[in-house]
Structure formats: C-alpha cells, structure tokens
C-alpha cells in the first residue's frame, strides 16, 4: 500500500472501531448515558468522514446508515434496544472485515456492496424508513392571511427543470426538502478544509451543482490555491443533520426549507420585492410557525416514541389554532409517518418563513465543545494545550523491533566482558582485569536501563487482550440463553506486545469454555440457590517478572467423574491409569488434545481443540496453566506469562561435559546435597525436600550424553512441571545471564528437548533446554 493517507486511515480505523464496539456494549447496559451516546456517535461520524476521503462508497453508505441510527438515538427520537445494538455491531463487524482488503488493494471486497446493503437496510428499518404510507390529512386554511414563505433567488440555480420535477412530489406528500448554498472561503485549503469532501458528507443528497464564477481571471493571473467554487444542493436530510455537517463553517453556508407553496411561488416568478420578508412577518406568526417546524424536526429525526408523537400533535394543534387554521386532527393511532405528513401540511398551509442562513454554533453544544477541527484531536476540549499532541509519537513497530535487536546485540557484547577480564587475569594483567570488571558494571547498568526503556515502549496493557471479551460474552450469552455479568480487573497491568497479542486467542477459548460448559442456565442456577445472573471475572496482576491472568466463573466447576468418563470414552487415558490418578490430575485432562465434555459438536464447542490450544499457546509463550476447581461453585484458570519474550534470563549448567541453559522461570531452586540424602522409591531415585518427594532424573541420561563420575555431592536443579517438581541431576551450576533466544532452524528445526539457542559472550552457542520435554522423557523412563 503506497497511499500514505490510506495507511493512516487503516491505522486509525482499528482504534475508532474498537471505541464504537466498546461504547455500544456499555450503552446497551446504560442507554441513558448521554455522554456515552455522544462519544459513540462522534467515533462513528469520524470514521464515516474519514472513509469519505477515498473511493469506498460501500463503506461510506453503510457507516452513514449506522450514523443516522445513532443520531436518532442521540436526539432522543429512538430508544436503544438490543436489536439495534445487534445491527450496529454487525455493521461495524462488516467494516472491520473489509479493512484488510482495503489496506491491500485500496478498495472494498467484491461482496461488500451486497453485504453493506443488507445491513444498511436493517438499520434503516430500525429508523422507520420502510414505514407504510400516511393517512389522509385534512387542513382547511382560514380566511386570515398569513405570510407566505419566500425562497432565496439562488435556489433557482439548481435548475428550473429539476425544481419543476420536484414540485409534484412536494405537493402530493406535503413534505419539504432542504436547499443549501455553500460558498467556501477563498483560503479554506490553508485551514485544512476540503469543500467537496464536506458537501459529500451531507446525507440523502439528491442534487448537487458545482459552479465556478463567470468572471474567472486569466490563466496567468489565476491562483490555484484559492477556492472559487460554489456548491448548491438539495437534500432530504433534516435541517439538524445539515447544520451538523457544516458546523465548522456556519458563515459560509445558507440553508432553506423548500415547501411546495414556496417553490411554486418562486417558479411562477412572484415579485420578491413585494413579497413579505421574514423581517416583515409578524413576530407572533414567526414564533408559531417555528413551533410547527420544530415538531416536524422531532418527528423526522427517526421513529419517535408514542409519547413524543402525542406531544408533537398537541403542540402542533395549539400552534395551528393560534395561526387561525381550521385543523382536523390525525386519525387515532396514526403512525409517526402519518403524523409527520400532517405536520408538513400544517407548515405548508401556515406559510413557513425563510429559514435563515445557519450562522450559529452547532445545535448540540456538547458536540461543539467535544469535537475539534481537522487540525486538533477528536474528543478533547477546544482549550487543550496546542502542544499536547507533541508528547505522543507514533512509531512503526519494525523500528522498535530493530532497536530491540540492537539492545540484544549489546547484551551479548556486555556478557563478553567477564570472559575478557578472566583472560586478562590469566595472563597476569590483574589491574587491567579489574578495570574491565569495573567497566562491565557500568555497561551492565546502562544496557539494563536501555533494555528496560525499549521494553517499556513495547509494553501494552492487558486491556488490549481483554478487549474482545465484552462483545464475546454479550453475543454468546444471548445465543446460549444465559445471563452473564463480565467483570474485568487489573486491565492496566502491562506486558510485552508479543505476549499480549498471543494471549488474546487463548482468552477467547477460555471465555467460550466458561460460558458453554461452566456457567449453568438461569433455571439451573436458581435451583442451586445461585443468582440467576452469573459472574465471569477476568483479572490480571503483576507477579514478579511475570504477569498472572485469571479467568474465573461461579458456575459448576469441573465434574471430575464426568471428565474421567469422557477421557475413557475418547481413549485419551487408559482405564488402569485413570484409576491411579488423583482428582487434580483428572481435572488437568481438560487440556488434553481431543478432550471435550460436550455430547455433540456445535459452533460453540465440542471439537476438543479449545483447551488444548490454550495450553499449547501459553507454553509457547514460556508460561504455565493451572486450574482451581470448586465443584458446584466455579472454576478459576490461571495463566502465568513472562513479561517479555525478547530477552530471556537463563541459568547456565553443565551436564555430560557440555554447557546448557534452563529458563529461569522454570527453575524452583538449586540444591547441593550428599548422595546419602538420595533414597529410592519404587526403584527410582528421589530426594526429599521439605517433606516433599522430588523424583530425580540425570540430565546426561535424558540427553544421551556420557555421565560424569559421581562425587561426594549431587547437584540437583529443581524445575517446575505440569505434574509437579522434578529434580534434574547436573554436573555443575553456573551463573544466571540474559540472552536473546533464537528458535532452532534449518536441519535442527523441530528438534525435541530444546526451546532455542543463544549466543554467549565468549562466542559459544548455548542450547536452551525445554523443561516440558525433559519431564516427558523422565516420565517415559520410569
């Protein structure tokens, strides 16, 4: 993708779509939150406006329909319900699916038009655009003369043929249409304004005329950086919508209501000089007609509530009576469309005055205070310090990754200094060796601080991984007929970007598992004495150099007997092995490949891949998964993840005459003890540590290396595994060190027993052991 503007749009799209999704889910729980309604509307409007910069009509049409529905909710004309939220979420889900294609090709997918039209029609239906025709309306004009509407002469610029074709429709429906005349300021381009783009944002645009002045200067004198165009248009959009589009340039646009009576007078060549103007119309008349027009705008904003329809009829009747109109009320039970036509007829009969040029501030003052022009950030007060944006710098991830690679090389170079010092000391340069060690301390401190600074740049809050949970819980709980309240804690806890991104998918599996298997249906919960609404908790807390993520529900917990039966039926564990396994070990079988307690496969679960995928993904990150089941009360699954995958800390050991590394996160402790402390249980060597039996396994034997001669003491590296602690017998312990772990590739790719290699300061390549595979080999040897 070479278009930098499109690249910026794609980059900002993810944030805007996430903001809309999060806002809609919160709004569904609290539809009365006006600030939240405005925030969602602004995000949707910003996205739609940005999409208008490109040739993406499918995307713009769909987001415009969503914006119209949100605007109706914002104006109070429509109460938000779950069906509307479903439609809006579906709209922005479709847009989200189109973004990768737009990024790659610059255009929407071939199926976008049909998909967008179907969803837009669904949204328009919620707005009431598909409502039936109106009931007949009877309006009798009294003998009292009223001031007729006078249209500005520029309306004729739209073309007499176009206007005469419009007149029968206005007369038949009693409706009105808006005409606008937009004359951009000469220097608009220097303020970042795009007049054509602005006009294209006007909803329901029917006619657009773009004209240049007749007296254009000669080419040699023409200034191409000045705007000389004039835009005249007709739109079915409500006056409030048009005002909103031009809210930043109110002095450059004039908007008028075009009614049948006013248009007929203008086309018939009525003497405008003799016609009463707005200023000559009686003040009381103008106020009353303004009341009628206000009721029309309320009804036209969407599908009002029965109460608002009744109120509009009541106010319109009073205004019409005061104007001297003999009025027949709409039929009892008439719908909003019928009432709207009735009010339109009243406005036409009353002779609506000219709507003055819109030169005031935006109708919604909250929007005016919250939104900024194109050169300022959206959603921040207008009084914000203009230099605030300079404190935030967006950087491509590749540049940060390159910086991290350089930090890794610095770490390797730093680690070589102790070897240089040792070599200098061996050659008798003790003073030089001491100076190298002193400099090593300084370089080590600086490199660690630099490493931490770069890691801070890569850090993301866990809320990024949690972001999909609210939508998933909402949709899945509705599908399963369950009531679930999602609680999120510790969202500000941070970890490396790679860790957070790889955590998102396991969390989806865990949430789906809790809702499908763990949380009971409402009737079952009530029968068990639980609240009908279940609680699902996502919590993240720092844990030393790791982060602990918990997914907890208050559902059934793990039914050990059912897991035991399903494991046997699916052939996951032999019957003899099942009999000797503890309840805790049985519970761990939910992570076994192919295991599922579902009786039938559905689009939610039943294939036996979800929990296995969770454990595999977490272990690839260098983390661990544990469970805490409380039968009948709930289940907690804990994920322990490293803060970063970029720089790893390992313990250096020697076995079979070769040096290896073990990830420090897997190490529980190191022990040197006399061989006399080692005992045998069931023919296997074990070591008793603090009343806990730790089975021993010689590392040289596990790796098929020659064993060293036994001395008086045994060196045991105690590591944590899924089945408990394991004591790995080694020849010698060395120091801890930071390394840049690289995966095995080439001919060694996929070699079991190793999780990667690292380059040490002395130039040797270190093999880093995979503790999980060592445990599997030790178990197979027993």
**CA-to-CA dists, residue 619 to 24, 129, 308, 665, 666, angstroms:** 35, 53, 59, 12, 11
* Residue 773 near residue 753 (C-beta atoms within 8 A): yes
Average pLDDT over residues 397-425: 82
* Residue 717 near residue 778 (C-beta atoms within 8 A): no
The answer, yes or no, to whether residue 90 has pLDDT greater than 50, is yes
Closest C-alpha to 511, from 480, 542, 553? 553
Cα dihedral value 775, 776, 781, 782, nearest 10 = 70
Q: Which two tokens stand for residue 405?
A: 């690679």
Cα dihedral value 241, 244, 249, 250, nearest 10 = 70
Residues present in the chain in total: 782
Q: How many CA atoms lie within 13 A of 667 on its CB side?
A: 18
Q: Which two tokens stand for residue 665?
A: 């996160």
* Residue 159 near residue 267 (C-beta atoms within 8 A): no
The pLDDT confidence band at residue 573, using thresholds 50, 70 and 90, is: confident
Q: What was the pLDDT predicted at 255?
A: 87
Q: How far apart are CA 678 and CA 691, in angstroms?
A: 13
Closest C-alpha to 619, from 596, 642, 650? 642
The answer for residues whose C-beta is within 8 angstroms of residue 236's C-beta and 6 or more apart is 177, 178, 203, 204, 206
Q: What is the pTM of this model?
A: 0.56
Higher pLDDT, 288 or 490: 490
The answer, yes or no, to whether residue 132 has pLDDT greater than 70, is no
Q: Which two tokens stand for residue 317?
A: 């009747």
The answer, yes or no, to whether residue 758 has pLDDT greater than 80, is yes
Average pLDDT over residues 486-512: 88
When the pLDDT of each residue in the chain is averaged and rounded to a whole number, the result is 78
Q: What is the DSSP string of 274-333?
A: TS--TTTS-HHHHHHHHHHHHHHHHHHTS---HHHHHHHHHHHHHHHHHTT-EEPPPPTT
Q: How many CA atoms lie within 13 A of 131 on its CB side?
A: 19
Tens of pLDDT, residue by residue over 600-657, are 545 455 444 568 788 888 887 878 888 888 888 899 999 988 887 667 788 999 998 8
Please tell me whether residue 205 adopts helix, strand or coil conformation.
strand
* Strands (E) located in 31-162: 139-140
Q: Which two tokens stand for residue 59?
A: 């995307």
Tens of pLDDT, residue by residue over 327-385, are 666 766 666 767 777 777 777 666 544 333 333 333 333 333 333 333 333 333 333 44
Please tell me whether residue 202 adopts helix, strand or coil conformation.
coil
The answer, yes or no, to whether residue 587 has pLDDT greater than 60, is yes
Closest C-alpha to 761, from 350, 516, 402, 419? 419
Closest C-alpha to 98, from 198, 17, 197? 17
The answer, yes or no, to whether residue 534 has pLDDT greater than 50, is yes
Q: What was the pLDDT predicted at 53?
A: 67
In 582-679, alpha helices (H): 583-587, 610-620
Task: Say how many C-beta atoms besides its own lie within 10 A of residue 26's C-beta.
Answer: 15
The answer, yes or no, to whether residue 104 has pLDDT greater than 70, is yes
The answer, yes or no, to whether residue 460 has pLDDT greater than 90, is no
* Residue 710 near residue 675 (C-beta atoms within 8 A): yes
Q: Which two tokens stand for residue 412?
A: 């390797």
Tens of pLDDT, residue by residue over 192-211, are 778 888 888 888 788 888 88
Strand partners, 759: 765
Name the pairing type of β-strands 230-235 and 459-461: unpaired
Name the pairing type of β-strands 534-543 and 484-489: parallel
């Amino acid at each position: 993708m070479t278009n930098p503007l499109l690249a910026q749009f794609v980059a900002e799209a993810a944030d805007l779509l996430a903001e809309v999704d999060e806002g809609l889910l919160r709004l569904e729980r609290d539809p009365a939150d006006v600030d939240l309604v405005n925030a969602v509307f602004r995000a949707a409007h910003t996205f739609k406006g940005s999409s208008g910069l490109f040739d993406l009509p499918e995307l713009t049409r769909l987001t415009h329909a969503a914006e119209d529905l949100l605007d109706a909710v914002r104006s109070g004309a429509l109460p938000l319900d779950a069906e509307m939220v479903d439609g809006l979420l579906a709209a922005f889900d479709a847009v989200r699916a189109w973004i990768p294609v737009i990024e790659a090709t610059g255009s929407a997918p071939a199926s976008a038009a049909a998909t967008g039209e179907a969803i837009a029609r669904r949204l328009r239906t919620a707005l009431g655009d598909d409502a039936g025709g109106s009931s007949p309306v009877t309006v009798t004009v009294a003998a009292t003369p009223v001031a007729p509407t006078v249209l500005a002469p520029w309306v004729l610029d739209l073309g007499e043929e176009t206007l005469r074709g419009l007149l029968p429709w206005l007369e038949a429906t009693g409706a009105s249409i808006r005409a606008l005349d937009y004359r951009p300021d000469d220097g608009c381009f220097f303020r970042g304004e795009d007049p054509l783009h602005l006009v294209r944002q006007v909803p329901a645009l029917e006619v657009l005329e773009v004209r240049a002045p007749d007296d254009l200067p000669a080419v040699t004198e023409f200034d191409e950086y000045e705007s000389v165009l004039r835009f005249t248009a007709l739109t079915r959009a409500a006056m409030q919508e048009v005002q909103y589009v031009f809210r930043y340039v109110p002095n450059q646009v004039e908007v008028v209501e075009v009614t049948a009576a006013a248009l007929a007078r203008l086309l018939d060549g009525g003497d405008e000089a003799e016609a009463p103007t707005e200023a000559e119309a009686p003040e009381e008349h103008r106020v009353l007609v303004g009341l009628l027009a206000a009721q029309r705008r309320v009804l036209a904003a969407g599908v009002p509530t029965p109460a608002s329809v009744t109120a509009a009829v009541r106010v319109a009747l009073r205004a019409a009576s005061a104007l001297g109109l003999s009025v027949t009320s709409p039929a009892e039970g008439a719908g909003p469309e019928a009432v709207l036509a009735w009010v339109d007829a009243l406005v036409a009969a009353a002779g609506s005055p000219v709507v003055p040029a819109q030169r005031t501030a935006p109708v919604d003052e909250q929007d005016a205070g919250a939104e900024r022009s194109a050169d300022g950030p959206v959603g921040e007060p207008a009084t914000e310090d203009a230099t605030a944006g300079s404190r935030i710098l967006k950087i491509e991830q590749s540049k940060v990754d390159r910086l991290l690679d350089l930090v890794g090389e610095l770490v390797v170079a730093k680690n070589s200094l102790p070897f240089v010092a040792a070599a200098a000391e061996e050659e008798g340069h003790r003073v030089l060796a001491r100076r190298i060690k002193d400099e090593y301390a300084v370089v080590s401190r600086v490199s660690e601080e630099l490493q931490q600074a770069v890691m801070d740049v890569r850090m993301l809050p866990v809320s990024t991984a949690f972001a999909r949970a609210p939508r998933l819980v909402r949709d899945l709980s509705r599908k399963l007929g369950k009531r679930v309240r999602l609680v999120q804690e510790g969202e500000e806890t941070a970890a490396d970007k790679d860790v957070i991104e790889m955590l998102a998918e396991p969390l989806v599996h865990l949430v789906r598992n809790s809702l499908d298997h763990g949380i009971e249906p409402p009737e079952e919960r009530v029968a068990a004495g639980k609240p009908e609404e279940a609680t699902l908790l996502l919590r993240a807390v720092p844990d030393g150099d790791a982060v602990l993520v918990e997914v907890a529900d208050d559902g059934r917990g793990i039914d050990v007997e059912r897991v035991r039966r399903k494991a046997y039926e699916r052939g996951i564990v032999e019957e003899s092995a099942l009999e000797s396994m503890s309840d805790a070990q049985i519970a761990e079988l939910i992570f076994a490949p192919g295991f599922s307690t579902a009786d039938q496969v559905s689009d939610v679960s039943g294939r036996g891949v979800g929990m296995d995928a969770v454990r595999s993904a977490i272990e690839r990150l260098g983390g661990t998964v544990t469970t805490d089941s409380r039968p009948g009360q709930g289940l907690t699954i804990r994920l322990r993840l490293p803060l970063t995958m970029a720089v790893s800390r390992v313990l250096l050991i020697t076995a079979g005459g070769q040096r290896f590394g073990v990830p420090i996160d897997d190490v529980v402790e190191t022990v040197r003890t006399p061989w006399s402390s080692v005992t045998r249980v069931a023919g296997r060597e074990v070591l008793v540590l603090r009343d806990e039996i730790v089975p021993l396994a010689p590392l040289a034997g596990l790796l098929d290396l020659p064993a060293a001669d036994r001395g008086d003491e045994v060196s045991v590296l105690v590591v944590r595994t899924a089945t408990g602690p394991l004591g790995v017998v080694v020849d010698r312990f060395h120091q801890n060190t930071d390394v840049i772990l690289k995966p095995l590739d080439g001919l060694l790719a996929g070699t079991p027993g190793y999780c990667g290699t690292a380059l040490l300061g002395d130039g040797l390549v270190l093999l880093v052991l995979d503790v999980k595979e060592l445990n599997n080999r030790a178990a197979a040897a027993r």
